[in-house]
Chain A
Amino acid sequence: MKKEKTYQERTVYLVGNPNTGKTSLFNQLTGLNQRVGNFPGITVEKKTGSFISPTGKKINIIDLPGVYSLDSQSADEKLAADYIKKSKDEIILIVTDATNLKRNLVLATQIMDLKKTIVIAVNMMDLLQKANMDIDFGKLSKLLGVPIIPVNARIGKGIDELKYALANHDISASKSFLGEHSKHPLMDENLLRYNKIDSIIKQTVHKKGENKLALQTLRFDKWITHKYFGFLIFLSIMFMIFQAIFSWSAYPMEWIETVFLQLSETIQTKLPQGTFTDLLSNGIIPGISGVAVFIPQIALLFFFITILEDSGYLARVSYIMDRLLRPFGLNGKSIIPMLSSTACAVPSIMGTRIISNKKERLITILVLPLISCSARIPVYTLLIAFAIPADMSLGPFNMQGVVLMSLYLISFISALLVAYVLKFLVKTNEKSRFVIEIPIYRIPRIKSVLLTMYQKVRIFMVDAGKIILAISIVLWALSSYGPADKMQKIEEKYRSDAVKQQFSEKEIAQLIQTEKLENSYAGILGKTIEPMIKPLGYDWKIGIALISSFAAREVFVGTMSTLYSIGDENEVKLIEKLREAKNPVTGKPVYTFAVAISLLLFYVFALQCMATLAIVKKETGSWKWPIVQVLYMGALAYGSAYLAYHLLS
């Protein structure tokens, strides 16, 4: 049985240096037939996919993290090295950059010395001409003793040949590259390896002239990473991205909102009245729509970050920011997780694994959740649209966009300041280093950008969607039911003749609903914490939203939608409901400008995300650091919201 399986199925480990187009090759080999998960026990993203060969064999491909060498120290690289060392029946597919073979062969020959089954794909064949180089593949394959397949993963050239090799290459150990000499101390082995690689390169790679790729990169970097203009260009790019996110997403957001409102209405009119209909139209649909509305913005954010990464610009941002971040106890490499934290803190916290210095990595992890993530976008959008008129502008810029940009700036500046404080509290005697490859500039492929964007949005929506669905059901139940005796008393109160004379039937129904919500379990919960949040200008309904968004911030909008649709027959947009909301005692509006700003600041600072807490615990190995985070961010949130409310009202 087992033998049959090994005949029909094969596993391939995809390995290679960073910047060799490993991801594009993975996409080409597997198409959309891939899954993203985690490696068991740790949180490094694990991509697996498969294809079926013409002879019916199923080839599974596991994408391992990019590594420069097998002796690397960082956690990501150790994982890849472990997988390679333990492999037996698996094929190691090593991806290399055609224009950079000499360096890429360091890793490849290290793996050869482990005597594994190896296939080498030489990628980026399209760049060879620009680099003015020729490679004698036949000779290279002969000298190394492993199959070598030239490919161009960007357009899919050579993929069929590669698939054929993966399906048909015999599982057998490659010959050792260094042979007898491999038991030398580290430096000697390196020298030996270098000399051997150098002689192979000299026999197989022919330079025909000046490398135009290098020249082109030099020309671009004269300006893009310029001493003075470098920062300016970086800030302008960021500013344009945020403007685009806000303005391009406006229309699709309206469409989604309208569709969900109509759905809710249709369900209410077409389905028989009852608990289930109520749960659907007042619980689940408003909850889901509250988040679905923000798909356009989240997608755009991932879209731009992927473009920046694929073009080669992100590495340059690390380079220009290193000196600036160093006094704050951070590293130039911290800027990449910080920027991707504008999408989501969870993958960014995993991404800090590229920082090898433990202190710098810990500080980066501790301040990352301060950076405004896409889960805050729903909250920001709602409150900004509420507080700032849409037609207001600052010079040529839309004021709403400027406010959004300022919130992101506040979050970055506070992250730096907190990092500065932490620098004195976290101790280490490890040396701080910054060594990074600066890849050549490349025009991102729209297909692969869209694929990455689709995958990230899907993960985000599935993960967030599960939490939101659960919470909106719980919330609906909590706000629809309460202690039985109290609920009964309310019914009786309004059934008296005195009340019936005073109000119309409809008004009574409305009053009953309102009072029922106030006395429901959710109402009781909200009222319990009301004294604590009153100094910030919040009422008990906001209190419920705050409690529910401790699981995840974006739940805030869903909760508000659910709370305000309970006992309301007319389906109007949430923002209009907020404008109409009045304090039952004073009769004044609940949501003033001061309250909106106070809430905005609360959401800028507070750590309301279970997923972040879980990942920080996993990455730092103890509950100490997530608790520290919750406390310091909570204090910042409460303090700033308190100040804003009192200064503005």
Chain B
Amino acid sequence: MNTDFPKAPLPLPRAEDVTEELAALEGPPVIPAGLRRTLFPVITKEDVFKMLLSTRVDPAKVVADFAEAYREYVGAAHALPTASGTSSLHLALVGAGVRPGDEVVVPAFTFIATAQAVVAAGAIPVFADIEPDTYCLDPAAAERAVTERTRAIMPVHVHGLPADLTALRAVADRHGLALVEDASHAHSATFDGRVAGSLGDAAGQSLMADKNFPVGGEGGIAFFATADAHARAVEYLERHGIDYGMSWIVAAFGASQLERLPYYDEIRARNAARLAEVLGETGLFSAPHVPEGRTHAYNMYRIGLHPDAVGLGDLPVHAVKEVVHELLVAEGVPAREWQNTPIPCHIPFRRREGFGGGYPFSLNPAAARDYAPEDFPVTLSMLSSTLVLCRELRSPVEYERLERYGHAFAKVARRPDAIRKLVGGREFPLPHAKAARLG
């Protein structure tokens, strides 16, 4: 049987894990090879049972029931289930009134789907920098990007932390713009007690199976604050013959996962808090910042590096990051960069071919700008000085695995001497000087 049941348990962590030689220098890795796989999503007998029951139900009802249950959980007024997060963002923009040739302000740091959804809507993404502490769209930068042709601002609750929606709503209101959330990382995340996806004029959200709230493979959902916005999106699909429909199989899995989402959220929050404690003691690393009044969903966990705190302040931070990244991976921690280039500098936004012949950029040439990485200094600084964990905090990450992750960070932070030695004599191109990475 092809099963995801673990083949062997991970041994309990030991205090000496932290003091042994680095794995990159021939010491024992904190997490042994063969025991590094992180399973996600958690698939249980309840998922199988519900899936089998759904085969006897009208497919349209399976999808509609799922969408209604999740809409109620989020607290949004209206919902439209879709085949992907990208399509949900496309429809959120359409519902919010975005039309061909309009400009939509988006952050320079996000997954590329945010900006491609704007292009799908026939609009032009206009990029603004992020805040240095939350990595979400900077309201002041967003306001500077507003022109007479701007129709909407689309902040991204990046990694699962809601953007500053109070400030962004104020910007939107001052200029008569729609506020559209990209909540693709932010399932169950809250801002002033309200769940992400329910706060904007519209919202799009990925539900693909690598997100904290997974459906059965690929899926998404758009939320709308008004019946008019919802109707606009539905009519758009019909008028243009676009099939963005969600499969009933995908929805059935989401329906059973939704019942356990609060449990998984609690495990993830607990793991994030525990790891923050450990990182806080290392000096070299810091946990994500969460402003008061917001809860972070930790779809990803972006860790800051502070070389000066361990006597490495004279070295380029991106070089320290690259070496630390190698050391962590050698210890068995699957840390990632998760992007290395501002999105406006990715090929589709440099070439701007769009649907062909430059459409829709050709509708609004003034908005179709040539951006340079240096236009986004906060994004560049973040890309140079942070590393990311993705699935590593999610249930079913066992306590012993989480502790071992902590041990690996502590072990690496104890060795500034090794980091300095490994940095020495090597060339380290800036992250954005390499081929653009999507994830």
Specify whether A and B are partners.
no
